[in-house]
Structure formats: structure tokens, C-alpha cells
Chains A and B, each alone.
Chain A
Amino acid sequence: MTTQVNENQFDEAQLEGQFASTIKAKDRIEPRDWMPEKYRKTLVRQVAQHAHSEIIGMQPEGNWISRAPSLRRKAILLAKVQDEAGHGLYLYSAAETLGTTRNELTEKLIAGKQKYSSIFNYPTLSYTDVGTIGWLVDGAAICNQVPLCRTSFGPYCRAMIRVCKEESFHQRQGYELLMTMMRGTDEQRASVQESVNRFWWPSLMMFGPPDDDSPNTEQSMEWGIKTHTNDELRQKFVDMSVPQAEALGVTFPDDGLKWNEERGHYDFSTPDWDEFWAVVKGNGPCNEQRLAHRKRAWDEGAWVREAALAFADKSAAEEATK
């Protein structure tokens, strides 16, 4: 018995060495590889949170499908929200290779045991928000996600390549909608500015808490699950967005926003982290609504999923007796 344990310990050390050298060589870890339990858990948590974000993220924009003001925009919006379902599906698949099923993850989401991006706990109050979400929220998501195309876990990395390709359409359609509206009436221009005012700060919060307040960052970066810090990505996003806003003809609601020649970056004010934590902890404007919606869809679909399995079993049995 003792010998057994010692042998295992020896193996473990050797496996850890192999794992570490794979990471160091910037090679991908694949599902059948040995991996530290904590790496697996961190990845499952991250991929699940990402998948949940895609699925919950269908709701705020889905809210405007029935009211989209032109047939073309209705089709674009529906296709976009459909893409989000697809992204969720790819990501849940990546999580499955780590030994957790989509059902398990969905149950955890519904039970409030796993998180999704807090941005989706903000309401969409005008159709214009569809454009703003495309531009700012998808834009921020892309900043977060593009580096993940090089993440250390193979299936996650492959899912992200697909997701990022499609996301770039989303961002473009959002920006293009806003540009078109800015060429429209005064009321439309006012609506764009109003929407941007509401979404700017929540978008900045999408990169997560400041680095000194983000306990998981260091280990995740070492493992190649995360490749940039929250603050680095936030800065990159601000730098990218300011000229886009100028081209669009809108302003961001931040008096502290200005170019810093010395740093070579834009300075900006501190987001309201109290609000951020309130939303993360479940007190955002739409937390309950979003989860209730997801739970209702999931619960109401249970009989359909069961029926399909029962039918498959019956068909297989019939096939077998033929």
C-alpha cells in the first residue's frame, strides 16, 4: 500500500514536469493529458463562465428582436443572437472535454453557483442598445477573447478561434448601426449618445476588477489560461475606443478621459467598483430576471429532451429486433 502511494507520488512529479514543460513550450494541453487538478478546475470555471455569458447574453439583445425597426436589421439581430447560442455551444463542448457535462454546468448556472459576465445584468432600454452592445460590449469581449485564441488548453483555444471570427462581425454590425443612426435624425443621434452613456462604464468593468484586486490572475497567466492582465486589456480597450467614438461623433461620459503623451495611452477615471461588486453579487438591475428566464427555458424544455431520448431508445430497440 505504501509502495503504491510512493509510486503514485513519483508519477505525479513526473507528470507535473511534463505538464509544465508543455506550457513552457507554449504547446497546447489536450484533453487526454494529465493536468493539475487546479488547472482543470480553473479552466472549467473560466470556460463555463464564458459559455454562460454567451447564453445569458442572448437575452438583452433578444429583447429587441421583435421590435427591430427594419426587416434587414431584424434579420441581422436574430442571426447575431443565434450566433451567441452557437458560441455557448462551442464553449460548453470545450468544457465537456474537461469532464463536465453541459447539463451539469447549466444546472450550476441556474442555481447561481457559477457566474456569467456582469454586463448582461444591465438592461437594454432602447433598440439603439443593440448597436452599442455590438460596438462596446462585443468590442470589449473581443479584447478579452482574442488572446484566448492562444490559450494553453487546445479545445478552448480552438473554440475561441471560431468565436472570435464571428464576434468581429458582431462588433462591425453594431458600429455600422450606430454610424447609420448618426446619419439619421436628431432624435436618433440623441438616442445613440444616451445609449453610449449608459454602456460605457459597464463595458470598462467587463475586464474585471483592477489587477491588485484580482486574485486569480497570476496563476492563470502562468498556466497560459490568461495572457494579459485586466488593467492591460482595459487600457487597450479605452485606447481603441476613443478614436472610434470620435469617428462616430459621440463622447464618453468621463471628464477624466484625455490623451497622456508621456504614457502613450489615454487616462481615464476609475469605474465605480462598488457598483461592479454589487452587480457581481447579484444585485444588478437584471440578475434575477436573466436567471429566471434561463431557468424557465431550461425547465420547460425538460419534457422535450426526455421525449427525444425516449424516442431514440425505442428506435434503437426496434432496430435491434429487426
Chain B
Amino acid sequence: MSNEPSINVDHDEAGANIEHGDHENAYSGLLVNDAHWAFGTDFEDPLAGVDTTVPEGVDPKDLAAYCLMLGDDALVFSQRISEWCSNAPDLEEDIALANIALDLLGQSRLLLARAAAADPGLVPQLPEGSPVPDEDRLAFFREDLQFRNVRLAEVPNGDFAEAVAKILIYSTWRLAIFERLQSSRDSVLSAIAVKGVKEMTYHRDFAGRWVLTLARGTDESKTRLLSALDGLWPLWEELFETHPTEASVAAAGIGVDPAEVADEAGVILDQVFAAAGIDRPERGVLAGVRGKKGRDGLHTEALSKMVADMQVVARQYPEGRW
């Protein structure tokens, strides 16, 4: 035993004369190397090598505010879905939900980094010399009232029917927006959207398939699904309400006015409902406070608790290195 610290345990070395060369070949090409582990989390700067110049004619503050909205949606929804980890109905579903949460977390990291790069004024100040990167400052050092996500993203988890219904609604809406966002004049947003479209096509597919399964499975699963959809439906319209920031980024050719995708998203959802043999819920719209909702930083009670939990360790070490 040498005194060199060896953390990178080599299986052949530790196993001595290991005789599995044939298996090694069998697994070649599969995802068992660094690049594929943890979805490319192994780089420090999420926007490394990307041109972050703000396109001409665009107010950087608007671009940043818009990225914050999209980034908060993804972050908050990812946080909720990750709560399923070790709680899903079976291992296969546990893994599938974690994949979705990881995709959204990756999106949020890029979007928050883009927000910070476009408008450094948004980024919370920490003690001089703190190594906390900008996207983490935005995620962990803003107050809950500064979060700009739609309220759908923060709804506390219910049963598995609620999870798949929520993912279906979210991804149907978001996919319609991202499909348009692919042609954003901002090359960063456009790249994020291209990646996101692939990911969310899968999320929508996963959720749509499960909605169908639950709707046509047993009486209990149908009842649970209907109740979940009923509970979420009051938040559907908020997804398509245009915030002034969204109007201005849409006008500048870098963002999407969500009102534009309302019909398209509705049609897709209705197709799923039709295949599932269920009706679109009839529920009133969840009011805001003097008209203010998630995009204005006006949330449900659930968000502040979630944010407090999410931020507790980071805030304990404002100068911490992770």
C-alpha cells in the first residue's frame, strides 16, 4: 500500500486479475463515464464559452427579468418534483421523476446565469470575497417575494396523479413557449430553448402517457386523476397572462408572449383529455391580490416555506465554497 491518497478506485486494480473483459465490451458505449454522469454538472461556469452579449435594441434589464421568470419556474418546479425522490410508486418511476427534476434544474441554472450576466444589478450582494456564483446568489439569496415563477410551479405535491397532471400541464405550456423561444434573438435563450424542447417533449410524453393510464386504469386512479386536475385547473389561466416584461421581450424579439400559445397548448391538452376519456375541468381562475400573481412576486403560502428550506444551508454559509 503506497502512501499516495488514491480516491479513484480502479476496479481492476482493487479486484486483481478481474476477469470481466467480455462484460466491459458488452457495456461499451453505455453511459458510465464522467461526461454523462449527473447531467454535465461537472463544470463550474454554466455559460462557459457562450457569447453573452445582449442583442442590440434589447433592454438588458428586461432580458434579465424575463430569464429570472423562466429560471424561477424551472427551479421551483424542479424542487417540487425532486421531493418525489425515494417516494415514487416504483423504482422505475422514481428514476423517471428524478430525470425530469434534473432536466429542469439544468434549465434553471442556465436561465439564472443568463439573468445575472444580462443585469448584474439583479444579483444579491454578499460579503466581499464570497465565492458564491451568481446563479446561486439568485437561487439562494433572494427573498421569496422576489421569486417570479408562476404559482403552478410551487403547488405542494399531492399524490402521483397530481404529479403527472402537474407535469402534463406545465410541460404542455412550457413546450409551446420554448418551441417559439428557439428563434429568440438572444443566442443564449435560443440555445437554452433548443435543449429544453428535447427535454420537455419527453416530460410531456411521460406525463401524457400516465394521465392516459390513470384515466383508463381503475376507478380509483380515475377518481384521483380527476381530483388532481380539478385542484390544479384554477392555475391554468395564469400561465397565459402576459406580464409587462413578457410583452416587452416579445416585442424585442427575444421572448415569447405566453398569451400567444394559449390556444395551441389548450388544443394539445384537450387531445390528451379526449384520448383519456375525461373532460377539461370547470373551475374558476385562482385570483391574485389586486391582480398581482406569481410573475409579480405574489405567491401562495407554500412558496415561502419551500424557499426557506431550499436556502437554509446556503445562507448559513454566505461565504461558503461548495
Q: How many chain A residues have a CB neighbour from B under 8 Å?
A: 82
Contact with A along B139-174 (1 / 0, CB 8 A): 110000000000000000001110000000000000
A185 touching B320 in the complex, CB below 8 Å, given contacts A66-B82, A162-B32, A307-B220: yes
From B212, which residue of chain A is reached at the shortest CB distance?
A311
Q: Given the complex of chains A and B, what is the CA–CA distance between A308 and B1 in angstroms?
A: 53
B101 contact set on A, CB distance < 8 A? 78
Segment touching B, from A5-13, A139-147, A250-258: A139-147
Contact with A along B271-315 (1 / 0, CB 8 A): 000000000000000000000000000000000001001101110
Contact assessment for A171 and B85 in the assembled complex, using a CB-CB cutoff below 8 Å = no
A62 contact set on B, CB distance < 8 A? 85-86
A79 contact set on B, CB distance < 8 A? 37-39, 41, 98, 102
Contact with A along B1-38 (1 / 0, CB 8 A): 10111111101001100111001100100001010011
Q: Given the complex of chains A and B, what is the CA–CA distance between A303 and B79 in angstroms?
A: 25
Q: Is B237 an interface residue (CB 8 A)?
A: no
Q: How many chain B residues have a CB neighbour from A under 8 Å?
A: 78
Contact assessment for A143 and B14 in the assembled complex, using a CB-CB cutoff below 8 Å = yes
Segment touching B, from A14-22, A111-119, A239-247, A275-283: A239-247
Contact assessment for A303 and B32 in the assembled complex, using a CB-CB cutoff below 8 Å = no
A243 touching B92 in the complex, CB below 8 Å, given contacts A127-B313, A304-B160, A311-B213: no
Segment touching A, from B103-111, B175-183, B249-257: B103-111
From B160, which residue of chain A is reached at the shortest CB distance?
A304
From B159, which residue of chain A is reached at the shortest CB distance?
A300
Q: Given the complex of chains A and B, what is the CA–CA distance between A183 and B321 in angstroms?
A: 7
Contact assessment for B218 and A303 in the assembled complex, using a CB-CB cutoff below 8 Å = yes
B6 contact set on A, CB distance < 8 A? 240, 243-244
Q: Given the complex of chains A and B, what is the CA–CA distance between A293 and B90 in angstroms?
A: 14
B27 contact set on A, CB distance < 8 A? 161-162, 165
Task: Say which residue of B18, B37, B109, B310 sits within 8 Å of A72 (CB atoms).
Answer: B109
B24 contact set on A, CB distance < 8 A? 161
From A169, which residue of chain B is reached at the shortest CB distance?
B37
Contact assessment for B136 and A81 in the assembled complex, using a CB-CB cutoff below 8 Å = no
Q: Is B112 an interface residue (CB 8 A)?
A: yes
Query: Which residue among A71, A82, A303 has the maximum number of chain B CB atoms within 10 Å of its CB?
Result: A71
Q: Given the complex of chains A and B, what is the CA–CA distance between A307 and B91 in angstroms?
A: 16
Q: Is A98 an interface residue (CB 8 A)?
A: no
Q: Given the complex of chains A and B, what is the CA–CA distance between A80 and B102 in angstroms?
A: 11
A293 contact set on B, CB distance < 8 A? 86-87
Contact assessment for A85 and B91 in the assembled complex, using a CB-CB cutoff below 8 Å = yes
B198 contact set on A, CB distance < 8 A? none
A74 contact set on B, CB distance < 8 A? 82, 105
Contact assessment for B309 and A185 in the assembled complex, using a CB-CB cutoff below 8 Å = no
Task: Say which residue of A139, A246, A300, A306 sits within 8 Å of B218 (CB atoms).
Answer: A306
Q: Given the complex of chains A and B, what is the CA–CA distance between A111 and B23 in angstroms?
A: 36
Segment touching B, from A31-39, A174-182, A199-207: A174-182
Q: Given the complex of chains A and B, what is the CA–CA distance between A217 and B14 in angstroms?
A: 20
Contact assessment for B20 and A149 in the assembled complex, using a CB-CB cutoff below 8 Å = yes
B92 contact set on A, CB distance < 8 A? 89
Task: Say which residue of B83, B91, B220 sits within 8 Å of A55 (CB atoms).
Answer: B91
Whole-angstrom distance between the Cβ of A110 and the nearest chain B Cβ: 14
Q: Given the complex of chains A and B, what is the CA–CA distance between A307 and B221 in angstroms?
A: 6
Q: Is A164 an interface residue (CB 8 A)?
A: yes
Question: Can you name 12 extra interface pairs (CB under 8 A) apart from A59-B86, A78-B105, A185-B317?
Answer: A55-B86, A69-B313, A69-B320, A71-B105, A78-B98, A81-B86, A82-B85, A166-B37, A244-B7, A300-B89, A303-B220, A304-B89
16 of the cross-chain contacts (CB-CB < 8 Å) are: A66-B309, A71-B112, A72-B44, A75-B41, A76-B38, A79-B98, A82-B95, A85-B91, A139-B9, A146-B15, A149-B20, A158-B23, A185-B320, A301-B93, A301-B160, A307-B214
- B residues adjacent to A (C-beta < 8 A): 1, 3-9, 11, 14-15, 18-20, 23-24, 27, 32, 34, 37-39, 41, 44, 75, 79, 82-83, 85-95, 98-99, 101-102, 105-106, 108-109, 112, 131-133, 135-136, 139-140, 159-161, 212-214, 216-218, 220-221, 224, 306, 309-310, 312-314, 317, 319-322
Nearest 9 pairs between A and B by C-beta?
A301-B89, A307-B217, A307-B221, A184-B321, A79-B38, A304-B89, A82-B98, A69-B314, A247-B5
